Amino acid sequence: MTTYVDVGIQRIQAHLARSRHLWGRRGASEEVVRLTMSPAAAKEKGIEAPPMAEVLALSGIEANDEAIDIDGVLSFKGRSEDDARDAGLLLARRLRTRLPGLTVQVSWITADVQPETGIEERYIDLLDPAQSRRWEKVTFRPAPYEFPLVRLCDECKVDPASHQAGKRFPDDPGVAPRLCADCFRRREHAERRRRTVVSIGPKHPNKFCVEWWLLSEINQARGGEELKGVDDLGKLGEMIRPDAAGHVRTHRDNHTALVFADGNGLGGLFEAAHRAAVEAGSTLEMQALSKGIGEALIVALKAATEKIILPGDDRLPVVPHVMGGDDLLVSLPAERCWEFLVEFLTRFQDAAEGLGVGDRRVSMSAGMVISKAELPLANQVEIAEQLLKRAKRGVDGQGWSFTWLDVTQDGPGGEHEVWTLEGLKDREPALGYLGEMSANSVQSIGGTLTSRDLGVMAQKLEYLAKRVDEVKCLLDKAGIKPSDRFDDSDARALKDLLSINRWWR
């Protein structure tokens, strides 16, 4: 009987983001790519054999060619359940030896032989959600540490320091830092990341290694002066627009945005695709659906990146951390975040049109956190994950939605409504007009919204609209009438418009 094994990396966004500096994220990305590369691809690129090569060399173990191609998941099969399971556990240990901070899950299932026919179950049948309880799982998580520790890692502040960095980087404070095993491994890749990442990257980017691929694609399309990559996230915050006058902010050159986007309802979509695959007796349709979603994501990312590049830029204003399947994690300058988000969702919507099974279609939600660049990436990812969950709940997991948090303005506990892409486009005339208003008028509107009483708030807005023509015009464009009917939804909508305006294009 055949045993099928999947070894997958979980919570990769949190793992990549645990480093405070961009070199740590880049080093981890490269190492994950190397760890999950197929032996054939590694041999072709002339780099060291990945851990999967050791597994496939074991007796009775071979690659599972029927498996869906998912970045970060390694699939194989064996004739013996014990041997296949042990091979999966061995592979998980090898992955975590290289990056101890990884969370790795090993899943396996053994195909039964049908008594009446003597025929073994097909792999496609074992993917049926109804068979999920038959899949056995073991999850390897980072080892917990109890205080007191001798010293925490200077980079992630998560694990105890166990290594002294051999070379001091320009952004290291004072001496070279003391690092945990995971961050030390990332650091080994930091200096050579660009050379090796470009050389091992496939034509279509690996989920964990997309940054330099995107830079290459953008430069090829430009056909002129090439852009460079940023050295750290702080440099993104310095990429401000020259025409940002009128925006009510004290500081403009130190804020970045992190966008976390993910597909909606793909579990149900792939269940429907699985039923179709069972009827066809092949996983080809499921593979085609997965590939189509990934290609739509590539189109949307490239289009959104090109949209926010300004004539005077010499650096790429986007740093993608993770991109693959239906999810995207990307950092960019705060002053360009809304233009990027709108273009990304719009282009993905267009590119994904027609992708689906029956009446189920692909859609996407996003969470965006805007903060000072100095806020640790791990904190940004944690906030963005919560925002993304809220955005999905806001449309019941079906639709094009987003929400956001401006940490500097709202505080870490702030909250905004879940907006749909269509709703934002309906409000674009109001946002465009709001961006042209005087700072004094914008501040006056904000002042009226501080009241806890909706009646008082409406009276103040009505009085202000009578005195200031541009305030009246804004309320008309937003469809808000304080003299007629003014409720909590109007107040929230106006507050959200002011929040979006802080960084609107």
For 174-199, what is each residue's pLDDT tens digit? 677 889 888 888 887 665 554 444 44
125 versus 249: which is more confidently predicted? 125
Directed axis angle between helix 181-190 and helix 193-200, to 10°? 80
Q: How many residues belong to the chain?
A: 505
* Mean pLDDT, range 118-132, rounded to an integer: 86
The pLDDT of residue 195: 45
User: Could you tell me the pLDDT band of residue 423, with boundaries at 50, 70 and 90?
Assistant: very high
* Mean pLDDT, range 402-426, rounded to an integer: 94
252: exposed, middle or buried (Cβ count in 10 Å: 0-12, 13-18, 19+): middle
Q: What is the mean pLDDT of the chain?
A: 86
Q: Indicate the residue type of 117.
A: T
471 versus 245: which is more confidently predicted? 471
d(CA 35, CA 9): 10
Q: Over 90: is that where the pLDDT of 258 sits? A: yes
Residue 259, helix vs strand vs coil: strand
Q: Which of 144-153, 219-228, 400-409, 452-461 has the lowest mean pLDDT?
A: 144-153
22 versus 313: which is more confidently predicted? 313
**CA of 157: how far to CAs of 161, 173, 282, 325, 490, in Å?**
9, 15, 47, 31, 43
293 versus 21: which is more confidently predicted? 293
pTM for the model: 0.83
Q: Over 90: is that where the pLDDT of 43 sits? A: no
Q: Which of 197-201, 285-289, 423-427, 482-486 has the lowest mean pLDDT?
A: 197-201
The pLDDT of residue 292: 86
* Mean pLDDT, range 14-41, rounded to an integer: 82
* Mean pLDDT, range 309-322, rounded to an integer: 92
**CA of 468: how far to CAs of 457, 465, 481, in Å?**
16, 5, 15
Q: Which segments of 262-411 does DSSP mark as H helices, in order?
A: 266-280, 284-307, 337-351, 377-394, 407-410
Q: Over 80: is that where the pLDDT of 325 sits? A: no
Q: Contact 321/301 with Cβ under 8 angstroms?
A: no
Q: Contact 269/357 with Cβ under 8 angstroms?
A: yes
